[in-house]
Every structure is written in structure tokens, then in C-alpha cells.
Amino acid sequence: MKTTQGDRILPAQGPGFAVALLVSIVIFGSVGYHLIEGWSIWRSFYVTILAITTVELPTLSRGAQAFTVVLLLAGVGSALYTFTLLATVVVEGGLPKRLQKRRQERMLEKIKDHFIICGYGRIGSIVAQEFHRQGMLYVVIERDPDRVHAAMDAGALAVEADASREEVLKRVGVERARGLIAAMGTDAENVYAVLSARLMQPELFIVGRAETEDATIKLKRAGANRVISPYMIGAVQIAQTALRPAVVDFVELATTSGNMELAMEQIAIGGGSALADHSIVDANLRQRYGVIVVGIQRQNGKMDFNPEPETVMRASDKLVVLGRPDSLKELELEAAANGS
């Protein structure tokens, strides 16, 4: 019923052409009956519709009957062609795709405190899987349509676009985002994406992927808070596994999502928290929650490793703690609570 080129309906045989053909037949029939029988335009139009839909017609003259035969041959075929083509467009994805796009746009308008993943290749897809396992909100930006479909099949909110363009970042809510991951295929793409995001959202936490040392420097200059080199991390991981396998196993156990026995987490201390301006020993964290404070990251970025029990925790500090996941959740609630 249709000719396609590159999975698209050719303009000469699309829905618009089919509708125009049917309208032309109706106009032709109305004018014909008006001239042959001398009927009003309305009655001529009414009888034309009856003829096309093969409903019983009123008594006609011999000339009108001959004209009706021509009209039926042309009109019925045109009507069937039009309705079949429109139904095919709806079934094959025209209407569902429009509805899905509209739902996606509404979700993008409402989403907040989410992560933006630029690129859905080997690195980006793994990041998305980890976010999904931990229940984090995220949006994927990818230029490859096949990868976009793969991201959507995996349950992600995905946009087919260039992540370095400001209008695209605005569309995915960069002003409301919690962070951005630049994990595209080339260093140049990642630098442009980081630079655009930093200009639009100065407070955004940005992680960039780099393949070379030069790209690491450029990403930091562009505004990335952290720059990760997968090759460097992979090499260090291999060396550490060979030298200290027990240590690597412990760190992996503590940082793997879904572990029910042990987890390592960072917990921010709110301004009104009861923990603020108290020492670790005064807060009695070990006895109350069964957690170990591994380190404290100060507001200026300095990290205090293995702090003494008398170390005072300040508002906006981030505790790096080790313990059971349920205990960490309870501690996180107290750290964020308003003590007033």
C-alpha cells in the first residue's frame, strides 16, 4: 500500500496525499451531481458521501447513475487507500512515537536533582546501569540513534542530540541537575560538553572522562570537578590486585552497590544537624550506629583521613563512613536533620 525510501513514506504517497485525493473525489462528486441533477451543493455533497460509503442511494437519472458508477470506482478505492494508510501510520509508530515524545518532554520539564550522562558507549552505559541499580534519576544524551534506543530499552530517559549544545543541556534540565558525566567517545566532545555545562551551571558537579594527560588538563580548565581516565584506573586496579588482593577485595566489597553486609558512603552534615560542631566521640557514632569514620572532607576540599575521636565535625563537612547500609541510612537522616 505504500512505497518507502529509508523507512520513510515518500511525499507523493504519504497521508497528506491520501487525504487530498479523498477530498478531491468528494469535491468532484458534489460538483458532478450538482450539474447533472441540479441539486443544491449540500444535497450533492450528501449523496456523494452516500455513494463513496456504499450506502443506499436515492432514485437517480440514467446520467446520474452512470456518473455514480465512475464515482464509486474512484471514491471507494480512494477511501480504502486513505483509511488503510492512516491506520498503517498509526500502527507502525506514528501516533505512539508522538505520544512517547510528548511524555518524554513532560518528564524532562519536571525532572530535578538528577544526573546527566553525555554519551552511552561502553563507559556511559555502565554508569547508567550503576545509577539505575542505586535508584538515581538520570538523563542520557547520545547522538547515535541505535544507542538512544538501547538506553530507552534499558529504562533510561534518553535524548538524541549533541551534548555540547547549550539548548540541549537546557532541555534536559542542567539548571536543576545534581551532576553531569561527560563520557563521550572523544576528548574534544567531552571538553566542549563540560565547558558548556559549566557556563550554564557554575555550581554543577561535573565528572569528565579523559583518554590522555593533555585531555585531563583541558577538562579541568573547562570546569570539570573530577577527571577520570579509564585506562589509568584499570592499570592501577590490575597492579593493586596483583600486589594487594585482600585490600582490593575489601574495597570492592565496601563500594559495590547492593551489598547488604558492608558499605562505604559519604554523608553530608547539614547546617542545622545535631552533629554539627560536635566531635566524633561526643556524637558517639560508633556506639549508636556501629559505623567507622574513615575520613572527613572539609568544606575547602581538604581530606582528614582516619580522624581522631576528638575531631570536630562542622556544617558542610562530608563524612566518609563504613558500616551496614541500614545504619548508614539512619546516620544520613540525622546528619541532614534540622536540629532547630
Length of the chain: 340
How does residue 73 score in pLDDT terms, banded at 50, 70 and 90?
low
Q: What is the pLDDT of residues 183-195, one digit of tens each?
A: 998 999 999 999 9
What is the share, in percent, of the chain residues with pLDDT greater than 70?
A: 83
What's the whole-number mean pLDDT along residues 290-296?
Answer: 90
Q: What is the pLDDT of residues 96-154, one digit of tens each?
A: 666 777 888 888 889 999 999 999 999 999 999 999 988 899 999 999 999 999 999 99
What's the whole-number mean pLDDT along residues 14-23?
Answer: 71
Give the separation between CA 140 and CA 172, rounded to whole angstroms: 9
Per-residue model confidence (pLDDT) at position 253: 74
CATH classification for the domain delimited by 4-91, as one of 3.30.1360.120, 1.10.287.70, 2.60.120.650, 3.30.450.20: 1.10.287.70
Question: What's the fold here for domain 259-336?
Answer: Alpha-Beta Plaits (3.30.70)
How many other CB atoms are found less than 10 A from the CB of residue 127? Answer: 19
How does residue 28 score in pLDDT terms, banded at 50, 70 and 90?
confident
- Which segment of 74-83, 135-144, 276-285, 317-326 scores lowest on mean pLDDT? 74-83
Report which residue type is found at 115.
F
Report which residue type is found at 157.
L
Question: When comparing pLDDT for 87 and 48, which is higher?
Answer: 48
Per-residue model confidence (pLDDT) at position 102: 80
Q: Is 93 exposed, middle or buried (0-12, 13-18, 19+ CB in 10 A)?
A: exposed
What's the whole-number mean pLDDT along residues 53-82?
Answer: 69
Query: Could you tell me whether strands 312-313 and 278-279 are parallel, antiparallel, or unpaired per DSSP bridges?
Result: antiparallel
Residue 203's contacts (CB-CB under 8 Å, 6 or more residues apart) are none
| Residue carrying the nine cell digits 540513534 | 145
What are the sequence ranges of the domains in the chain?
4-91, 110-233, 259-336
Per-residue model confidence (pLDDT) at position 258: 60
What's the whole-number mean pLDDT along residues 232-249?
Answer: 88
Contacts 24+ apart (CB under 8 A), 286-293: 289/323, 289/327, 289/328, 289/330, 289/331, 290/323, 290/324, 290/327, 291/321, 291/322, 291/323, 291/327, 291/328, 291/331, 292/321, 292/322, 292/323, 293/319, 293/320, 293/321
How many other CB atoms are found less than 10 A from the CB of residue 251? Answer: 14
* Residue 81 predicted with pLDDT over 80: no
Per-residue model confidence (pLDDT) at position 178: 94
Q: What is the pLDDT of residues 255-278, one digit of tens each?
A: 765 655 778 888 999 888 888 888
Per-residue model confidence (pLDDT) at position 1: 39
Give the separation between CA 24 and CA 18, rounded to whole angstroms: 10
Per-residue model confidence (pLDDT) at position 182: 96
Per-residue model confidence (pLDDT) at position 273: 87
Per-residue model confidence (pLDDT) at position 55: 64
What is the share, in percent, of the chain residues with pLDDT greater than 90?
A: 37
Average pLDDT, the chain: 83
Per-residue model confidence (pLDDT) at position 60: 67
Give the separation between CA 326 and CA 271, rounded to whole angstroms: 23
Domain 110-233: state its class. alpha beta
How does residue 3 score in pLDDT terms, banded at 50, 70 and 90?
very low
How does residue 6 score in pLDDT terms, banded at 50, 70 and 90?
very low
Give the separation between CA 66 and CA 56, rounded to whole angstroms: 16
- Which segment of 71-75, 77-81, 178-182 scores lowest on mean pLDDT? 71-75
pTM summary value: 0.63
What's the whole-number mean pLDDT along residues 19-45?
Answer: 82
